[in-house]
């Protein structure tokens, strides 16, 4: 059991901030691994039309093993849509070096000595999660769609199906409930289990889906689904005109107090997506990014109300010319992996843009050999680096709400102040600086890293002054040439009581004001203002 409980505040929104002055909230980029981590290099992947695509990556904590499911598709010159998909399986102990075990399950070119576990179909899309809420026989869950020549002829989108597995290799399909949902997107959705609300969340595009946006469906049992409507619609005043397509929210995941999402943003000629796909723009066209697809940040505190930061910088941008990911990025379909605070994000890297003309150019450059056009890459986000409050050469400050931790032990910063400083003072909500904890008493933080202690020189500890400041003081941080990612207040927790208390508080907050039991008046949703609104309204900014 941990002897200390960590109360962490991320700076993604203004929930714990009262005032921000002369600081900029910035979205930060993940750090890309220098080389692809998986390519089509097995002896059985020798068809020039084979291409790597559509990954699911998890870390199985029971087996202490990374597992990847990926699709090998057929890509042919003169065809924009791929022809046929088969599913392969790979494992890794470190997440960097991958093994492709011989599964002896699917015959390819007269042999079963390969790592395929699902035979070739015209089209199959799926999301896989490890479900901690179910029995071992259904520990792995898959939502999937399948397509056939008949469905293409009939011109309807395939319905969503359900499969489950004890090991992620042999899959059972419950015929008595499939299909479980109709009318979802043809491609790319997010699948998530919320342990606090004990619900499954499905983030998908609606049908029809041009321009594309993101909708949410919820279910307690994966069979009965409630349509919660659109949650993210692309193209506002902060986006360039060409970014009006939210291609997918394929990777929502829980991180501290947030549900974060990696949003696929796609750039096309406004109102003319199909034309952009098939017709290259003139060389003098001013916007050079038509057809690219990068990854931006979205966030929610409850999984239902979603927002995008004002700063629309890419969390994972497309690469530089000649890099494997210069065209499009397609994230792992089941969310990143958080290990020791660091977030690992796997994605399919595409050399071509999401257009026919770019695909044909890439094929021509490679002699119609598609094996090198796509691969699996990895990007890592250092702990809490998603969003920061940044100060330049002119000092700025941020004032927090009251920090009501009576057993306050330490104040730790995750920050980069190596080119400047971060100082702080404690103040009452009435604006009075608490004696002994003023800015002049503070020992500045001037380093780069997490868990940097911020202390005051006075003889008293913060815990000693708490009886005189019931409800907790506010913190005013001063920054110059620095980035503040998060701050943490620690409390002693020898018996786990604090962890249980704050865990219960999070659970109560998750279920507050929301219910599906519409007929029970005492448990009906609260009317009026919802619990979370657009970040910042009503809070003073100068």
**Confidence at residue 156, expressed as pLDDT on a 0 to 100 scale:** 76
Residue 465 in tokens: 């002054």
Higher pLDDT, 534 or 257: 257
Coil, helix or strand at residue 310: coil
Higher pLDDT, 185 or 308: 308
Per-residue confidence band for 81, with pLDDT thresholds at 50, 70 and 90: confident
- Residue 529 — very low, low, confident or very high, per pLDDT cuts 50/70/90? low
Q: Kindly list the domain boundaries of the chain, sorted by start residue.
A: 4-27+387-515, 31-381
**CA dihedral of 397, 402, 405, 408, whole degrees rounded to 10:** 30
Structure tokens at 88: 């392969």
Per-residue pLDDT averaged across 340-361, rounded? 94
CATH architecture of 31-381: 5 Propeller (2.115)
User: Residue 516: what pLDDT?
Assistant: 55
pLDDT tens-place string over residues 4-19: 999 999 999 999 999 9
Please state the rounded mean pLDDT for residues 363-388: 94
- pTM summary value: 0.92
541 falls in which pLDDT band (50, 70, 90)? Answer: very low
Instruction: Tally the residues of the chain.
Output: 542
Q: Is 283 exposed, middle or buried (0-12, 13-18, 19+ CB in 10 A)?
A: exposed
- The pLDDT, as a whole number, for residue 535 is 45
Highest mean pLDDT among 64-68, 356-360, 369-373: 64-68
Rounded distance, CA 503 to CA 330, Å? 34
pLDDT one-digit tens code per residue, 236-279: 889 999 988 888 998 899 999 999 999 999 999 988 888 999 99
Classify the C-alpha dihedral 388-428-540-261 as positive or negative.
Answer: positive
Asked whether the predicted pLDDT for residue 532 surpasses 50, the reply is no
Q: From CA 402, how far away is CA 506, in angstroms rounded?
A: 18
pLDDT at residue 518 in the model: 46
Query: Residue 92 — very low, low, confident or very high, per pLDDT cuts 50/70/90?
Result: very high
Q: What pLDDT does 94 receive?
A: 97
> What φ, ψ does residue 112 adopt, rounded to 5°?
-100, 5
Contact assessment for residue 308 and residue 237, using Cβ atoms and an 8 Å cutoff: no
Give the largest Cα separation in the chain, rounded.
81
Does domain 4-27+387-515 fall into CATH 3.40.50.1820? no
What span, in angstroms and rounded, lies between the C-alpha atoms of 369 and 47? 8
Residues 423-442: what's their mean pLDDT? 96
Burial code (b: 16+ CB inside 10 Å, e: under 16) for 372-402 equals bbbbbbbbbbbbbbbbbbbbeeebbbbbbbb
The CA distance from 5 to 51, in Å, is: 47
Pairing of strands 342-350, 337-339: antiparallel
User: What is residue 536's predicted lDDT score, i.e. its pLDDT?
Assistant: 42
* Structure confidence at residue 393 (pLDDT): 97
d(CA 382, CA 201): 26
State what percent of residues in the chain have pLDDT above 90. Answer: 68
Confidence of residue 524 (pLDDT cuts 50, 70, 90): low
| Range from 24-33, 144-153, 380-389 carrying the lowest mean pLDDT | 144-153
- pLDDT of 60: 92
pLDDT over 70, % of the chain? 93
pLDDT digits (tens, 9 = 90+) for 284-304: 999 999 999 999 999 999 888
The Cα 256–Cα 384 span in angstroms is 9
Using one digit for the tens of pLDDT, what is the confidence trace for 498-523?
889 888 888 887 776 555 554 545 54
**Residue with the two structure tokens 């499954």:** 200
Supply angle C-alpha 477, 455, 3, rounded to 5: 110
DSSP, collapsed to helix, strand or coil, labels residue 137 as: helix
Q: Is the pLDDT of residue 341 over 60?
A: yes
The total of other beta-carbon atoms located within 10 Å of residue 536's CB is: 15
Of 43, 46, 173, the residue nearest 113 (C-alpha): 43
pLDDT at 320: 93
Query: What are the Cα distances from residue 106, in Å, to 54, 68, 87, 114?
Result: 19, 17, 10, 8
Question: Range with the lowest mean pLDDT among 130-134, 180-184, 186-190, 484-488?
Answer: 186-190
Specify the pLDDT at position 296. Answer: 96
Q: How many angstroms separate the CA atoms of 75 and 490, rounded?
A: 54
At 151 the three-state DSSP class reads: helix
How far is 432 from 386, CA to CA, in rounded Å?
Answer: 32
Q: What is the mean pLDDT of the chain?
A: 89
How remote is the C-alpha of 439 from its chain's centroid?
Answer: 37
User: What would the pLDDT profile of 24-38 be if each residue is shown by its tens digit?
Assistant: 999 999 999 999 999
148: confidence class by pLDDT, cuts 50, 70, 90:
confident
What gap in Å lies between CA 279 and CA 358, rounded to an integer? Answer: 9
pLDDT at 534 over 50: no
The confidence score (pLDDT) of residue 458 equals 86
């Amino acid at each position: 059991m941990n002897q200390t409980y960590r109360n962490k505040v991320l700076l993604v929104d203004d929930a714990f901030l009262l005032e921000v002055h002369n600081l900029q909230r910035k979205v930060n980029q993940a750090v890309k691994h220098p080389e692809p981590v998986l390519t089509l290099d097995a002896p059985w992947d020798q068809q020039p039309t084979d291409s790597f695509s559509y990954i699911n990556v998890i870390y199985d904590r029971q087996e202490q093993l990374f597992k990847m499911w990926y699709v090998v598709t057929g890509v042919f010159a003169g065809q924009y849509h791929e022809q046929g998909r088969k599913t392969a399986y790979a494992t890794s102990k470190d997440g960097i070096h991958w093994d492709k075990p011989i599964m002896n399950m699917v015959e390819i070119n007269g042999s079963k000595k390969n790592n395929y576990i699902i035979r070739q179909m015209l089209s199959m899309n799926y999301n896989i999660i490890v479900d901690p809420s179910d029995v071992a026989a259904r520990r792995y869950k898959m939502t999937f769609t399948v397509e056939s020549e008949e469905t293409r002829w009939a011109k309807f989108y395939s319905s969503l199906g359900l499969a489950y597995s004890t090991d992620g290799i042999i899959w059972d399909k419950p015929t008595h409930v499939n299909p479980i949902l109709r009318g979802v997107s043809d491609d790319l959705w997010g699948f998530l289990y919320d342990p606090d609300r004990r619900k499954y969340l499905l983030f998908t595009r609606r049908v029809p889906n041009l321009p594309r946006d993101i909708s949410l469906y919820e279910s307690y049992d994966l069979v009965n689904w409630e349509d919660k409507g659109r949650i993210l619609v692309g193209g506002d005043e902060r986006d360039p005109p060409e970014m009006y397509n939210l291609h997918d929210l394929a990777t929502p995941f829980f991180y501290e107090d947030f549900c974060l999402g990696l949003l696929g943003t796609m750039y096309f000629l406004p109102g003319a997506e199909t034309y952009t796909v098939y017709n290259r723009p003139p060389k003098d066209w001013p916007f050079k990014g038509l057809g690219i697809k990068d990854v931006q940040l979205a966030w929610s505190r409850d999984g239902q109300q979603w927002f995008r930061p004002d700063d629309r910088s890419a969390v994972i941008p497309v690469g530089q010319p000649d890099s494997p990911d210069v065209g499009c990025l397609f994230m792992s379909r089941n969310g990143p992996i958080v290990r020791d605070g660091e977030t690992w994000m796997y994605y399919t890297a595409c050399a071509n843009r999401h257009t026919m003309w770019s695909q044909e150019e890439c094929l021509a450059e490679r002699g119609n050999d598609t094996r090198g056009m796509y691969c699996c890459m990895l990007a890592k986000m250092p702990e809490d680096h998603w969003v920061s409050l940044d100060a330049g050469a002119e000092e700025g400050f941020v004032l927090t709400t009251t920090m009501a931790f009576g057993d306050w032990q330490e104040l730790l910063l995750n920050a980069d102040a190596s080119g400047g400083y971060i100082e702080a003072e404690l103040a009452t909500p009435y604006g009075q600086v608490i004696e002994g904890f003023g800015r002049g008493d503070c020992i500045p933080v001037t380093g780069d890293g997490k868990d940097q202690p911020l202390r005051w020189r006075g003889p008293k500890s913060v815990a000693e002054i708490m009886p005189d400041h019931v409800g907790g003081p506010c913190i005013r941080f001063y920054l110059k040439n620095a980035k503040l990612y998060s701050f943490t207040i620690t409390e002693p927790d020898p018996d786990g009581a604090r962890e249980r208390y704050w865990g219960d508080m999070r659970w109560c907050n998750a279920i507050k004001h929301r219910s599906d039991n519409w007929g029970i008046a005492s448990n009906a949703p609260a009317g009026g203002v919802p619990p979370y609104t657009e970040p910042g309204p009503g809070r003073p900014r100068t």
